[in-house]
Amino acid sequence: MKIVAFVGPSGTGKSHRAQMVARERNIDYIIDDAILIHDNKVIAGTSAKKAATRIESVKRALFSMPGQVEEIQEVIKKENPKSILILGTSDDMVNKIVNNLGLPKIEETVYIEDVSTPEQIALAKSTRMSEGKHVIPVPTFEIKKQFSGYLLDPLQIFKWKGRGTAPYVTEKSIIRPTFSYLGNYIISDNVIRTIAEKVAMNTTGIYKVQRVKVDSYSNGIMIYIDVILEYGSELRSLMKEYKEKAKKEIDKLTAMNVLDIQIVAKGLHIPE
């Protein structure tokens, strides 16, 4: 197994360029931010940016928290990759990750200065300091379960390599960690209710939303909605249509990971 390190100070754009560095070296596996990534999917680990404090985040990124090593080692053994790209803020950090995971010695080290201009690095640092945003090199839907309710923005960039090579899309997610000095935000249950009511107003056959209940879990929310239907509507297709619309709007407007929506028809409205 070949181990390649990608090193650069925090906030200089490593995660933003990780897929490019990996692709140029035909590497399909990336370790970044305490997660193992393969083909744009998180296959093991929990993001270090989910930690409550910066200290815990550093420990997670180094794989020094209880239970972390076993999970990653088990998946690596199962996948048996030919090569892995490991991201870190220093040579010392990537060496610690390699040692903690019991991986072979690093054969090649790529530094951020090798793939970014001074202007690009300065811009990345400025964005980190002013907006507190971090990049994770996987699509937003892949990381959403770990960051339900946080600020997530998808970032799609068209890239190409070499003359005559077809362009490809590299997808990343921009998140704001829990320990961000810019603070947290909370989405009230009333917001969920308001969205559910708005969707009901635009769905023919739903008379009104009677009650909305939200249960929060570590990986997302469960929503229970009681509705009053218009008499004469076809119940099953109407409920299915409303559920799909409500889930889509709540997901889009709140960035919450909606585990499921359960809808109960509590009554019928019969026009005079």
Pairing of strands 206-217, 168-175: unpaired
Pairing between β-strand 29-32 and β-strand 83-88 as defined by DSSP bridges: parallel
What does the chain come to in residues? 272
pLDDT at 151: 47
13: tokens are 């754009």
- pLDDT tens string for the chain (272 positions)? 999 999 998 888 887 788 888 888 999 999 988 889 888 788 888 877 767 677 777 888 899 887 889 989 999 999 999 999 999 989 999 999 999 999 999 999 999 999 888 888 887 777 666 555 555 555 444 445 555 545 444 444 444 444 445 544 444 544 555 544 445 556 778 888 999 999 999 999 999 999 999 888 766 789 999 999 999 989 999 999 999 999 888 877 776 778 889 999 999 999 88
CB atoms closer than 10 angstroms to residue 197: 16
Q: How high is the pLDDT of residue 200?
A: 94
Domain 2-175 grouped into CATH 3.30.1490: no
User: What's residue 167's pLDDT?
Assistant: 46
Out of 3.30.499.10, 3.30.70.1350, 3.90.550.10, 3.40.50.300, the CATH code matching 189-269 is: 3.30.70.1350
Res 129: pLDDT: 62
Each domain of the chain, given as residue ranges in start order, spans: 2-175, 189-269
Domain 2-175 and domain 189-269, same fold? Reply is no
**Per the structure block, which two tokens stand in for 143?**
């990381």
Identify the helix (H) or strand (E) that includes residue 227: strand 220-230
